[in-house]
Amino acid sequence: AQSVTQLGSHVSVSEGALVLLRCNYSSSVPPYLFWYVQYPNQGLQLLLKYTSAATLVKGINGFEAEFKKSETSFHLTKPSAHMSDAAEYFCAVSDSGTYKYIFGTGTRLKVLA
């Protein structure tokens, strides 16, 4: 079965600094990978997804992620953090052959002024 690991349940960055949120997956076949963002007291919304096209995926709000098969990683980055980026971020991988996603445990991003 698929699994996904997000390293760091809490990450703090200064406003204007690089954001790097880590996600590693386990899969013997190329998966579909997603990053979702959850703002306080809201549901999840899609940031970006990888579906076996370009390995560098650009999403909303200046975020991007790179699929690295050799490292089984799909880390999320943003060159310059903004206060409005403070939220919880979830990496998810599709469970091949089913309709199911497997979600990571989430990383809460704090942006310091």
Partner 1 sequence: NAGVTQTPKFQVLKTGQSMTLQCAQDMNHNSMYWYRQDPGMGLRLIYYSASEGTTDKGEVPNGYNVSRLNKREFSLRLESAAPSQTSVYFCASSVAGQTRETQYFGPGTRLLVL
Residues that bind partner 1 (CB under 8 A): 9, 32, 34, 36, 41-46, 49, 51, 90, 94-96, 98-101, 103-106
- Going by C-alpha positions, the residue among 99, 98, 47, 96 that lies closest to residue 74 is 47
Minimum CB distance to partner 1, residue 16 (Å): 29
CA neighbours within 13 Å on the CB side: how many for 11? Answer: 24
DSSP symbols for 76-96 = EEESS--GGG-EEEEEEEE-T
Nearer to partner 1, 18 or 54 (CB): 54
Closest to partner 1 by CB, 51 vs 80, is 51
State which residue, 72 or 101, has the beta carbon closest to partner 1.
101
